[in-house]
């Protein structure tokens, strides 16, 4: 293991695009070293190529082997892991549950929920030995204000939220665990809500209308929240759900 990096280190899953890419950029800008984990090899490599503070690991976050690799790379390169942000997630197109199949269920829970536990198994023991650490899991307002057609996704985010609260209890006082719950965002997931048809703009307007602040969640909204929860400014915050949703959860 090399000498410990003077800069703090964060692991960000799903960091090649959307909310994750904004989180990667924000932490790099603040002087952190960033280990970006994504299943999209091309986008992940490009993101790391553009920023000398970022290293890319190509992997499936639902596979325990990916987490062993992530830990090994972070410790080999920098000798420390200060924060981990579970951002990677998927959603199916809107449909009532009788039109969904269990393969969809299995895939969504494998990507959205399983990594919450795999990451804790792999990284929490090191953080305990290190004496500090922060986990931030990206949930969704789908768990508080569910929309029809997304039962599996909403249930997966409810699981993320409950797991986060439980882990906050299990690992206090050394490691903090918190959630960010965004509303629908300006990311690729937006198409699941609005579709790609000619009336997509009208559907988007309807989604925006449901949000009191009358706009979608922007990637920088989530990256700002992640920065706060990872920083010492939130040193007395654990087991909380920070709703970054323009009032959608009210």
Q: Work out the percent of the chain whose per-residue pLDDT is above 90.
A: 82
**pLDDT at site 192:** 58
**Pairwise CA distance, residues 112 & 90, whole Å:** 7
Q: Indicate the average pLDDT of the chain.
A: 93
pLDDT tens digit string along 97-148? Answer: 999 999 999 999 999 999 999 999 999 999 999 999 999 999 999 998 888 9
List of domains in the chain = 9-189+218-243 (3.40.50.720)
Residue 2 per-residue DSSP state:
P
Identify the active-site residue in 143, 153, 171, 228: 153
Q: Work out the percent of the chain whose per-residue pLDDT is above 70.
A: 94
**Pairwise CA distance, residues 22 & 32, whole Å:** 14
**Pairwise CA distance, residues 99 & 97, whole Å:** 5
**pLDDT at site 191:** 63
Whether residue 167 has pLDDT greater than 70: yes
Cβ atoms within 10 Å, residue 75: 17
> Coil, helix or strand for 64?
helix
> Coil, helix or strand for 246?
coil
**pLDDT at site 4:** 85
Give the mean model confidence (pLDDT) for residues 40-61.
95
Torsion of CA 210, 156, 137, 115, to 10 degrees: -150
- 223-226 CB contacts, 8 Å cutoff, 24+ apart: 223/19, 223/22, 223/23, 223/25, 223/26, 223/27, 224/26, 225/180, 226/23, 226/26, 226/27, 226/85, 226/136, 226/180
Distances (CA, A) of 86 to 129, 147, 195, 197, 246: 21, 23, 26, 31, 22
228 as an active site residue: the answer is no
pLDDT tens digit string along 203-249? Answer: 788 889 989 999 999 999 999 999 999 999 999 999 999 999 999 98
- Closest-CA residue to 139 (of 242, 65, 238): 242
Which pLDDT band, with edges at 50, 70 and 90, does 3 fall under?
confident
Which pLDDT band, with edges at 50, 70 and 90, does 193 fall under?
low
**pLDDT at site 2:** 66
> Coil, helix or strand for 62?
coil
Q: Which two tokens stand for residue 56?
A: 């890319």
Least confident span in 12-21, 168-177, 197-206: 197-206
């Amino acid at each position: 293991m090399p000498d410990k990096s003077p800069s703090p280190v964060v692991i960000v899953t799903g960091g090649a695009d959307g909310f994750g890419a904004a989180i990667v950029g924000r932490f790099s800008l603040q002087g952190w070293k960033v280990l970006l984990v994504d299943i999209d090899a091309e986008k992940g490599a490009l993101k790391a190529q553009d920023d000398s503070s970022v290293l890319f690991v190509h992997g499936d976050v639902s596979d325990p082997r990916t987490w062993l690799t992530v830990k090994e790379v972070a410790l080999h390169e920098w000798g420390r892991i200060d924060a981990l942000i579970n951002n990677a997630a998927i959603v199916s197109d809107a449909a009532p549950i009788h039109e969904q199949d269990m393969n969809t269920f299995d895939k969504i829970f494998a990507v959205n929920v399983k990594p919450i536990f795999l990451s804790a198994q792999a990284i929490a023991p090191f953080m305990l030995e290190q004496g500090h650490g922060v986990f931030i899991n990206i949930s969704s307002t789908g768990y508080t204000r569910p929309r029809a057609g997304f039962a599996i996704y909403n249930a997966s985010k409810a699981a993320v939220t409950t797991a986060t609260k439980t882990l906050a209890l299990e690992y206090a006082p050394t490691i903090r665990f918190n959630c960010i719950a965004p509303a629908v965002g300006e990311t690729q997931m937006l198409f699941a809500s609005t579709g790609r048809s000619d009336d997509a703009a009208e559907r988007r307007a309807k989604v925006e209308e449901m949000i009191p602040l009358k706009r979608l969640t922007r990637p920088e909204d989530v990256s700002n929240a992640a920065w706060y929860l990872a920083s010492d400014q939130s040193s007395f915050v654990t087991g909380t759900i920070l709703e970054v949703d323009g009032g959608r959860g009210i």
